[in-house]
Amino acid sequence: MPQMLIDVLLFGIFVYWMVGFVPSAASFIIYLLLFFLFTFSMGQTMGLLASVAPTKTVVQGGGAVVLLMNVLFSGYIVAPNVIPIYWNWIYWITPLSWIYRSLLLNEFVHRSDGQQVMESYGFLLPNDTPYGREWIGYGFAYIIPYTIICLVA
C-alpha cells in the first residue's frame, strides 16, 4: 500500500495540475482520494479474483472481463444515456462509473457551463435531471464498502 500511495501521489499531482483541473484545494484532495480509492479497489478486486480462480489463465481472462466491463460501462467510451436499458445495471455496479462520475462532478460543478457539459455527455439521472454535488459523496459511499467487501472476501 505505501508504494501505491507514492504512485498515486506522484502521478496524481502532476496530472491534476498539468491538465488544468479546478485550482481548489478541496477539489484536489477529493481527486487524490478518489484516485487512491479506485487504485486500491481495483487491486483488491483482482486479488479477490485471484483467490477464487483455480488457475492463472482464469485470473487473466476474468481480469480482462472485469477491465472491459469497467471501461466500457463507465460512461467514458459509451455515454450513460446511450447504454441500452438491459445493460444499464452494469453501469451502476462498475466501480469506475462511480469514480468517473464523481471526478466529473468534482471538476464541472465549479464551472458555469458545468451543467451543460454533463448533460451533453449524457450524465443525467434516469428522470433526466442532472447529478448534483452530493453524488461525489455517493461515489465514496459506493467505493469504500466495495473495497472492504473485496478485501475481506
Single-letter residue type at 83: I
Compute the half-sphere exposure of residue 110: CA atoms within 13 Å on the CB side of its CA. Answer: 14
- The predicted pLDDT at position 137 comes to 95
The predicted-structure confidence for 32-51, as pLDDT tens digits, reads as follows 999 999 999 999 999 999 99
The closest alpha carbon to 24, from 136, 98, 113, 106, belongs to 106
pLDDT tops 80 at residue 1: no
The predicted-structure confidence for 69-114, as pLDDT tens digits, reads as follows 999 999 999 999 899 999 999 999 999 999 999 999 999 988 888 8
The closest alpha carbon to 109, from 128, 137, 83, belongs to 137
pLDDT tops 80 at residue 58: yes
pLDDT band at residue 9 under the 50/70/90 scheme: very high
Q: What is the pTM of this model?
A: 0.90
What is residue 74's three-state secondary structure? coil
DSSP symbol at 129: P
